[in-house]
Copies of this chain bind each other. A is one copy, B any other.
């Protein structure tokens, strides 16, 4: 699609739909990688802690029908919110969740994420698929989400190697 056509598409709709899939291998077994999503304090470390990030609120309820909620900013910038709902969980194999994000009170996106864990030798192949809807000219947000998720997966890898 040419740039001109992309611009035309943006004029016709306020929502951009975009899907990406990341595959990562870990030397640790599926149980260990799964646990980094399931355990509240472990997840907090790789998902929202880090230099420059200020955490205003964090709660996690890892069960089908349960919700997570986090509120944070980066170096005093606008508040970001992440509200997650667990859609399906199969222990050590699969986690499916939806989440919506806002920045400074403005809706940014809603997404459906499928994380699958498969044993490979002593390690794990993890497949992360995010089906996203980005609001109000969110083409840049759609592009940035994949990059941001790759960065988070690096943090996850460091966490499970601790």
Contacts and interface: CB of A to CB of B under 8 A. Distances in A.
Copy number in the complex reads 2
A70 interface: no
A47 interface: no
From A17, A110, A114, A135, name the one whose CB has the most chain B CB atoms within 10 angstroms.
Answer: A110
Given A131-B19, A133-B131, A110 B83 contact: no
Contacts of A132: 112, 131
A129 B112 CA distance: 13
Contact of A88 (B19, B107, B112, B116): B107
A157 interface: no
A88 to B, nearest CB: 5
Given A13-B116, A98-B98, 20 more contacts: A14-B90, A14-B93, A14-B94, A15-B114, A15-B116, A17-B114, A19-B19, A19-B131, A87-B98, A87-B100, A87-B110, A88-B133, A94-B135, A98-B110, A98-B112, A111-B112, A112-B112, A112-B131, A131-B132, A131-B133
